[in-house]
Structure 1
Amino acid sequence: MKIYFLTTLFLIFSSIIVAQSEEDQIKAVINKYLEGTSYNKPSTIKEAFYKQATLFLSHKEKPVWIVSVSEYASWFEKKESGKFNGRTGKILSVDQENDIATAKAEILSKGKDIRYVDIFILKKINGEWKIISKAATRTK
């Protein structure tokens, strides 16, 4: 009976630790994206994404603006690398099931009175979490 209890307790704690570590890995990828976009680091942005990921963004003249990771990252090449650009982001939620996950983040642009909400779809590929898609909306 004691061995059964200890085994059950071990399995419960093991699953909590694994789940927590998966969530930490997902958050690390989202934070990589947030850091890259806050400090003008295109290579850091690209590291967070699967190479063929697609971004669905807001645009005043288009119902859906579809952008590649390379194009998106290139927007940050024009600014001084490593210099804070006024974008601050925080993760609002993470939901993970096996090798897929969704995450939601809020990004504020200092001095511009702009708020973005990003929804990410992530997949664990070859043991590494990557953003495979992102949709964003812009609000005041």
Structure 2
Amino acid sequence: MRTLVLTLAFLFSMLIVTAQSEENAIRKTIQKYLDGSSYNNLELITSAFYTEADLFLSKKDQELWVLSPEEYANLFKNRKKGKFNGRVGKILNVDYANNIASAKAEIAIPLKNLLFIDIFLLKKLEGEWKIISKAATSINP
């Protein structure tokens, strides 16, 4: 009986460790996007995305603005790479099941009094988590 209890405890702890490592891997992917867009790093931004992902964004006077990861990254190309641009990102939550995940992040640009909420869909592809879709909305404070 003791052996059974120890075996079950071990298996349960392995499940928790696996779940934590998957969530950490998902968070690292989202963090690549956040860091890339905060420090004008086009390669870091695109590395977080599946190449054929769609980004559904908010734009003044346009109900839906759809960009590819490359088009989105190019919005930062005329800024100095590595220099903080005032965007502060924070991951709010992550949820996953097997090889799919969703995540929510808040992007604040205090100097412009802007706040965005981003919702991400991710999929584990070839052992690596990639953003396959992103939708964003502007929150007017």
**For residues 46-86 of structure 1, what are the alpha-carbon distances to aligned partners after superposition, in whole Å with 9 as ceiling and x for unaligned?**
00000100000012222211111110000111100000000
* Other structure's SS at 2:111 match: coil
Structure 1: how far apart are the matches of 2:12 and 2:64? 44
Normalised by the length of structure 2, the TM-score is 0.97
Cα shift at 1:2:
1.0
In structure 2, C-alpha distance between the alignment counterparts of 1:55 and 1:132, rounded to whole Å: 9
Aligned to 2:20: 20
- Provide the TM-score with structure 1 as the length reference: 0.98
- The residue aligned with 1:55 is 55
- Partner Cα distance (1:6, 1:68) in 2: 50
Match of 1:109 in 2: 109
Report the Cα distance in structure 2 between the residues aligned to 1:102 and 1:34, rounded to whole angstroms.
15
SS in 2 for 1:75: helix
**Separation of aligned partners in 2, 1:121 and 1:81:** 27
Equivalence for 1:88: 88
Q: Gaps spanning 5+ residues in structure 1: where? A: none
C-alpha RMSD of the superposition: 0.6
- How many residue pairs match? The answer is 140
In structure 2, stretches of 5+ residues that fail to align are none
Pairs within 5 Å for 1:110-129: 110-129=110-129
Q: Matched residues in 1 for 2:20 and 2:85: separation?
A: 31
- SS of residue in 2 equivalent to 1:81: coil
Q: Which residue of 2 aligns with 1:2?
A: 2
Query: Is residue 44 of structure 2 the alignment partner of residue 39 of structure 1?
Result: no
User: Percent of aligned positions with the same letter in both sequences?
Assistant: 53
**Greater Cα offset, 104-113 or 60-69:** 60-69
Residue 3 of structure 1 and its aligned partner are, at CA, apart by 1.1
Cross-structure match for 1:134: 134
